Amino acid sequence: MALYHFSVKAISRADGRSVVACAAYRAGEKLTCEYYGKEQDYTRKTGVELSQIYAPENTKSVLLDRNQLWNSVEKTERKKNALLAREFEIAFPSELNAQQRKKMLDELCQNLVKKHGVIVDAAIHAPHTDGGSDERNYHAHIMFTTRAIDPQTGNFSAKKYRDFSRDSGTKTVCHWRESFADLTNQHLEKAGYDVRVDHR
C-alpha cells in the first residue's frame, strides 16, 4: 500500500502565530508581517519544490501576491484570538515524480477553491537531506483563508464560511480525507502503479 497522510491544522493568533510567517516558511520566501512589524526571511530554507497561489477567478489582483494576501488576512481578522487560516498537510506517494506531484496538487487545490471559494497558498516540500527524515517524504502544506472571496467585490466576504465550524467541521474533514485518497489513487493509476491508499 502506498503512503497516505492527510491532516488539518489551524493557524491562530491565540497561539501567538503570524500567518505571514507561516506563509514565508512554507514558500521559502522573505515576507514582512505588518501586524507584528517583523520581517520573516526564509530564503535560505532548502527543499521547497514549488509554491503557488490558487484563487477564484474574480479575486482582486492584490490578493494574488503572497505578502499582500496574508497581510490582508492579518488586517481583516482583528481579534486577539483570531483564526487566521487553515491548513491541509498531505503526503505524496513516493511512486510519483515532481511533475506528477504538481498535477496532483493542482487538482486538489483547484477543488478546494471551487468547493469553498477560498484563496489557497500551497507549497511542496522535499524530504530533508540531513539524514534525519524519510527520503520518501515529499509533502505539501496547503494554507487557505477562513473567508471566501465575494463574487461581487473580489475581496474577502464579510462573514467567515462555516464549513469547518464545530457543527459541520467533522463532516467536511471526512469529505476531504476521502476525496484526497480518491485523488491519490487516480494519480497512481495514471502513473501506471497498482498500489492504492485507504483513508480509513
DSSP state of 69: H
Residues 161 and 118 sit within 8 Å (Cβ to Cβ): yes
Residues 113 and 104 sit within 8 Å (Cβ to Cβ): no
Q: For residue 53, tell me if it sits in a domain.
A: yes
pLDDT in tens, 129-153: 665 566 678 999 999 999 999 999 9
The pTM of this model reads: 0.94
* Strand 38-41 versus strand 83-91 pairing type: unpaired
Q: For residue 159, tell me if it sits in a domain.
A: yes
Tell me the three cell numbers of residue 78: 482583528
Q: How far is residue 173's CA from residue 8's CA, in Å, rounded to a whole number? A: 8
Q: For residue 1, tell me if it sits in a domain.
A: no
What total number of domains does the chain contain? Answer: 1
Q: For residue 199, tell me if it sits in a domain.
A: no
Domain of residue 51 covers 6-190
DSSP state of 34: T
Question: So what's the pLDDT on residue 132?
Answer: 58
Question: So what's the pLDDT on residue 1?
Answer: 57
